[in-house]
Chains A and B, each alone.
Chain A
């Protein structure tokens, strides 16, 4: 073991260790580094006292500042609600006509609705409500399966369509074309008539017209104008949820397809649903 000695080049002391004639300088750490180090230690001790830090057998040390991310987020949400409160209160009490008349309120509902629609509705109904052909209805036109008034739209969003919610919109088309209900010829005649309805040139006096009156008009109504309360779509236009043309009509008569929609009241609060209803109503086809 060599003894500690002063290095003649740097002027620093050595550690006193020596390996094969190589000695080690004992250069002190830079002062700024040592200060920062001790400051960090002090900060840590202060942090343990101020903030939640150490686990204990039954929980954890709470800290003197009573910090809680849960309490914070609850407060933030409360502040958020308060900042919207005047609009939400107005919206709750407003009738559709009031909302349309009150430009500021309509503006609020539409800008809030845009974000909400994008997050919750556009996955199925597409950006801006364009819909998905063959799967999910377009909301940007004036063709409505369950009604396009503000109240209808609100009802549909709230309780959904064909889901487990007791107030959900229910109704299913029967498989008229299967079994003994109708022969293949009759299905074909009926489909011809429905296609003529959609082309706005109803084939009066055709066998299909009689079949339609007998089987279909209870829901789709005379002339195929549809019935919103039962979700029976209008057939007197060329807008099809699944598939148009004779082939599509036959498919639906034989093996009807039905869409479904979740009940959003299980996820969103009443004010949010109202905002969405106003937004959807404003997409182009609100009645």
Chain B
């Protein structure tokens, strides 16, 4: 206990106390901060993951606004039963452009990490307007108000903010945001310009009115891309080196 006897000198000398505190904070700070400098090398690089298209991003914002994460997770855990039901377990890289991520922790409804392509656009629209029209036993609330026009005035600002926190949008992509958004929600041409910037984006109008971009168009475009960016016939996560 002899070491602790000298503690008194440290406690009663303001200079040594300050130096001691500083040393403690430096150690604690380094342990927390240093790994972040290496984040580039610790996140797996997975082919296919791209930033959300403007329409998908707008849909994602609606997903957050409506609180979908309260009942739906977007995280398939690496367990047999989950993989059997929902598909390949989620990779960290698949949500690396999500700010904030929508992993969630509660499943009142099913996991949505790979819902993209599972149902038709038509089904999503019917289901969103009144879930019991297609799934009689569903307890999900209806979202008929999503048939209103999408407010596109903030999309460029959102993308700029996302760029600041590390989503690699180019200046051209931000400049063309509204054009890309409208094109994705109205055209189903396989040569659409938006597909060059955002491969695999789900094209086309979903709610029966190609002239009007609704919140429904945006949300369904987002749901339809979830989990579809990575081609697991080519990407083998067991062999990805960090």
- Minimum Cβ distance to chain B for residue A192 (Å): 29
Let me know if A267 and B78 touch, CB within 8 A.
Answer: no
Let me know if A260 and B84 touch, CB within 8 A.
Answer: no
Contacts A80-B80, A135-B134 hold; do A123 and B119 have CB atoms under 8 A apart?
Answer: yes
- Minimum Cβ distance to chain A for residue B86 (Å): 9
- Minimum Cβ distance to chain B for residue A176 (Å): 21
A213 within 8 Å of B by Cβ? no
Task: Kindly report which residue of chain A lies nearest to residue B120, judged by CB atoms.
Answer: A260
Let me know if B87 and A73 touch, CB within 8 A.
Answer: no
- 217-238 of chain B: CB within 8 A of chain A: 237-238
Let me know if A58 and B242 touch, CB within 8 A.
Answer: yes
Question: Interface 1/0s, chain A 98-137, versus B by CB < 8 A?
Answer: 0000000000000000000001101110110000100110
Question: Interface 1/0s, chain B 81-111, versus A by CB < 8 A?
Answer: 0011101010000000000000000000000
- Minimum Cβ distance to chain A for residue B234 (Å): 14
- Minimum Cβ distance to chain B for residue A157 (Å): 13
Let me know if A267 and B80 touch, CB within 8 A.
Answer: no
- 74-98 of chain A: CB within 8 A of chain B: 74, 76-77, 80
Let me know if B83 and A262 touch, CB within 8 A.
Answer: no
Partner-contacting stretch, out of A64-72, A143-151, A246-254, A279-287: A64-72
- Minimum Cβ distance to chain B for residue A252 (Å): 16
Partner-contacting stretch, out of B20-28, B34-42, B65-73: B34-42
Could you tell me the distance between the alpha carbons of A74 and B78 in the complex, rounded to whole angstroms?
Answer: 9
A214 within 8 Å of B by Cβ? no
> How many chain B residues touch the partner (CB < 8 A)?
29
Let me know if B41 and A58 touch, CB within 8 A.
Answer: yes
Task: Kindly report which residue of chain A lies nearest to residue B35, judged by CB atoms.
Answer: A55
CB-CB < 8 A to B85: which residues of A?
A: 119
Question: Interface 1/0s, chain B 54-84, versus A by CB < 8 A?
Answer: 0000000000000000000000001110011
CB-CB < 8 A to A260: which residues of B?
A: 120, 122
Task: Kindly report which residue of chain A lies nearest to residue B242, judged by CB atoms.
Answer: A59
- 132-153 of chain B: CB within 8 A of chain A: 133-137
Task: Kindly report which residue of chain B lies nearest to residue A264, judged by CB atoms.
Answer: B118
CB-CB < 8 A to B42: which residues of A?
A: 55, 58-60
B157 within 8 Å of A by Cβ? no
Could you tell me the distance between the alpha carbons of A119 and B35 in the complex, rounded to whole angstroms?
Answer: 41
A179 within 8 Å of B by Cβ? no
Could you tell me the distance between the alpha carbons of A59 and B41 in the complex, rounded to whole angstroms?
Answer: 7
B169 within 8 Å of A by Cβ? no
Could you tell me the distance between the alpha carbons of A123 and B137 in the complex, rounded to whole angstroms?
Answer: 10
Let me know if A58 and B38 touch, CB within 8 A.
Answer: yes
CB-CB < 8 A to B38: which residues of A?
A: 55, 57-58
Let me know if B41 and A57 touch, CB within 8 A.
Answer: yes
Task: Kindly report which residue of chain A lies nearest to residue B137, judged by CB atoms.
Answer: A127
Task: Kindly report which residue of chain B lies nearest to residue A162, judged by CB atoms.
Answer: B120
Q: Which of B34, B84, B120, B133 contacts A132 (CB 8 A)?
A: B133
Could you tell me the distance between the alpha carbons of A129 and B53 in the complex, rounded to whole angstroms?
Answer: 36
Let me know if A70 and B242 touch, CB within 8 A.
Answer: no
Contacts A58-B41, A59-B42 hold; do A123 and B123 have CB atoms under 8 A apart?
Answer: yes
CB-CB < 8 A to A180: which residues of B?
A: none
Could you tell me the distance between the alpha carbons of A59 and B127 in the complex, rounded to whole angstroms?
Answer: 43
B166 within 8 Å of A by Cβ? no
Let me know if A262 and B117 touch, CB within 8 A.
Answer: yes
Q: Which of A60, A72, A132, A163 contacts B134 (CB 8 A)?
A: A132
Contacts A57-B38, A73-B89, A120-B118 hold; do A126 and B136 have CB atoms under 8 A apart?
Answer: yes
- Minimum Cβ distance to chain B for residue A284 (Å): 19
Top-8 shortest CB links A-B: A76-B80, A73-B78, A55-B35, A69-B78, A57-B38, A260-B120, A59-B242, A70-B238
Q: Taking beta carbons and an 8 Å cutoff, which residues of A are in contact with B?
A: 55, 57-60, 68-74, 76-77, 80, 119-120, 122-124, 126-127, 132, 135-136, 163, 259-262, 266-267
Q: Taking beta carbons and an 8 Å cutoff, which residues of B are in contact with A?
A: 34-35, 38, 41-42, 78-80, 83-85, 87, 89, 117-120, 122-123, 126-127, 133-137, 237-238, 242
Given contacts A73-B83, A123-B135, 12 further A-B contacts (CB under 8 A): A55-B42, A57-B34, A58-B42, A70-B238, A73-B79, A73-B80, A76-B79, A80-B84, A122-B135, A124-B123, A267-B87, A267-B118
Provide 19 A-B residue pairs closer than 8 Å at the C-beta atoms, listed in order of the A residue: A55-B35, A57-B38, A68-B238, A73-B79, A73-B80, A77-B84, A80-B84, A119-B85, A123-B119, A123-B135, A124-B120, A124-B123, A135-B122, A135-B133, A135-B134, A136-B134, A262-B117, A266-B117, A267-B87
